[in-house]
Amino acid sequence: MKLLIVNADDFGLNAAANAGIIACHQAGSVTSTTLMANAPGFDEAVALARANPALGVGLHFNLTWGEPLAGAAQVPSLVGEDGRLLSREPLGRRALLGRLVPAELRRELDAQFDRLQDHGIAASHVDSHQHVHAFGPVFAAVAMHCQARSLPMRVPWVAADRQSSPARRLRRAVLSALLSRATRRWQGRVRWNDSLGSVFELGEAGARLEDAHYRQLLARATGPVHELMVHPVTSAEAMQGYTRVGPVAEAEYHYLRQGRLAALAAEAGYRLGNYRELRR
């Protein structure tokens, strides 16, 4: 059977994200998660990961929220005047203008990865917050890091989407072009997922998610290794100031904690697993 990796992003962001991810893992839906090394809920997430060893835990490389672990003075191309990491738009502009310093990207990536290791987390893989490793220099830093450690990585492949606005379709087209260029260089040198899906492809899914939504997503999956990216949180209100996807994330939590996803995956010819299997 093909492999479905159900990865919950934003582990360690706060208590609502931590609780939502663990509840959905214990229900048999979430098999993998990625941990933010510089987020407020990091210590709690580490304790929860230790208590749930079947959960694959990777690094959610974060360049767009909070403060750099390497220190602002060590990564000036990654921060603003306040010493905090840039938001995605200015980071993207710097990437496209060639103003992100590769050595500084590697320095911050090492600092975040090392914090997981220092707390006893053997990272299963690497992805990034808000898919910033779609930008060429960030992708190269992540791929180089993973190749050196024989780690897999997520590629945020762009699925076909005809339901979104013209502006969103344009952004997705740009993302697809960036990824095509980045992956050509590293093909065969790093292992990664063959496709990626999430409920955000469905447009306005509403406050309630059902089997039909996930059957639709799994029907779009391609390749032997597919990642379903999820963001379960126990409370949308608790995510205010952290993310704009709180209502959808809470809807994901209510669905995934019912534990029906494994059966739907089997219907589509998939078994659940995590990125540890790609290291073999």
DSSP H helical ranges for the chain = 15-26, 42-51, 88-96, 102-118, 136-149, 166-186, 211-219, 246-256, 261-267
How many residues are there in the chain? 280
Q: What distance in Å separates the CA atoms of residue 132 and residue 206, rounded to the nearest whole number? A: 27
Query: Is the pLDDT reported for residue 160 higher than 70?
Result: no
Give the pair of three-digit tokens for residue 18: 């931590």
Confidence band of 161 (pLDDT split at 50, 70, 90):
low
Query: Is the pLDDT reported for residue 170 higher than 80?
Result: no
- The residue among 242, 270, 246 whose CA lies nearest residue 36 is 242
CATH assignment at residue 50: 3.20.20.370
User: So what's the pLDDT on residue 87?
Assistant: 96
Q: What distance in Å separates the CA atoms of residue 150 and residue 80, rounded to the nearest whole number? A: 33
- Tell me how crowded residue 22 is: count the other CB atoms within 10 A of its CB: 23
Give the pair of three-digit tokens for residue 171: 């952004």
Give the count of domains, the chain.
1
User: So what's the pLDDT on residue 243?
Assistant: 84
User: So what's the pLDDT on residue 61?
Assistant: 98
Query: Is the pLDDT reported for residue 205 higher than 80?
Result: no
Least confident of 75-84, 157-166, 180-189, 220-229: 157-166
The amino acid that residue 186 corresponds to is W
Confidence band of 162 (pLDDT split at 50, 70, 90):
low
> CA Rg, the chain, in Å?
18
91-102 mean pLDDT: 96
User: So what's the pLDDT on residue 84?
Assistant: 98
For residue 35, give its domain range. 2-279
Whether pTM > 0.75 for this model: the answer is yes
Percent of the chain with pLDDT over 90: 82
227: left (phi over 0), alpha (psi -120 to 50) or beta: beta
